[in-house]
Amino acid sequence: MLTRRMGSAEAWRDTKVGMWAWLLQRVAAVGLVAVIAAHLKNPFARPVQAALLALVLFHGLLGVRAILLDFGLPVRWHRLLFLLALLVGVVAFAAFWRWRWY
């Protein structure tokens, strides 16, 4: 039996949106753990704040996407939802960062 070897480039060729959405959310979650730890040590470090905000937004919005699908939104919209999540994430980040510029 062959299994997809995730270490190889071939396995990642042609990887589709749904997979990226899932992966990004998980990566964001892992990232959050590290960033939250850093944030607790020094809540005023700007880069850490930025990273925290970005990761929270992406993780949360992708989570909302997953929930919407779970609740019966047809899966054929999942790509659109992914784009939407990214877009809203970027816009929200920019808006928030401007608003809380201190």
Partner 1 sequence: MVLRVFRWSPGSRERLQKYWVKARHGMTVLDALVELQRNSDATLAFRYACRVGMCGSCAMVVNGRERWACRTLLSNLARGPVTVRPLYQFPLIRDLVVDMAPMKNKMLEMKAVFVPGRRAMAGDEFAQIGSRSRERRAIDAAIECIGCGMCVSACTMVGHDPRFPGPAALTRVFTLQRDSRDGAHAGRSLAVLAEDVLTRCHGQANCTAVCPMEISPTDSILALRRRAVLRLLGIGPR
| Contacting positions for partner 1 (CB under 8 A) | 1-4, 10-14, 16-19, 21-22, 66, 69-72, 74-76, 78
- CB 58 → partner 1: shortest distance, Å? 16
Nearer to partner 1 by C-beta: 26 or 45? 26
- CB 43 → partner 1: shortest distance, Å? 33
- DSSP per-residue letters across 1-69: -----TTSHHHHTT--HHHHHHHHHHHHHHHHHHHHHHHHH-TT-HHHHHHHHHHHHHHHHHHHHHHHH
Nearer to partner 1 by C-beta: 77 or 96? 77
Residue count (the chain) = 102
Burial (Cβ within 10 Å: 0-12, 13-18, ≥19) of residue 69: middle
- CB 55 → partner 1: shortest distance, Å? 19
Interatomic CA distance for residues 86 and 91, integer angstroms? 9
Nearer to partner 1 by C-beta: 39 or 79? 79
Nearer to partner 1 by C-beta: 22 or 93? 22
